[in-house]
Amino acid sequence: MKYQKEVYEFLTTIPKGKVVTYQDIAIYLGNKNLSRVVGNVLHKNDKPLIYPCFKVVNSKGELAENFAFGGKENQKKLLEEDGVVVEDFKVDLTKFRWTGL
């Protein structure tokens, strides 16, 4: 799948306690319109412990309704274990968004 390697490698650079958006990754790939492509790549991630796709939220900071590894409840649990505060299945991007792109 096109962009898979780049997306997975990018996931490994996200620091503990931080999140990025689908669009952040799309911009990293060179085209801000690739957000859906990023989502498709993440949905097919077969190594979530190596490539932490749980650290990706939408542009409003909301968790993935259809998070492939146990739904948004599990994404919330994983984010909280990583040090991210989640309230009502949403992350405050002003505090937890990684800006080191």
Pairing of β 56-57 and β 20-21: parallel
Q: How confident is the model at residue 66 (pLDDT cuts 50, 70, 90)?
A: confident
To the nearest 10 degrees (0 to 180), the angle between helices 4-11 and 22-29 is: 120
pLDDT of 97: 98
**pTM, entire model:** 0.93
The yes-or-no verdict on residue 18 having pLDDT over 80 is yes
Residue with more model confidence, 28 or 66: 28
Contacts of 61 (CB under 8 A, 6+ apart): 19, 90, 91, 92, 93, 96, 97
Mean pLDDT of 15-23: 97
pLDDT surpasses 80 at 68: no
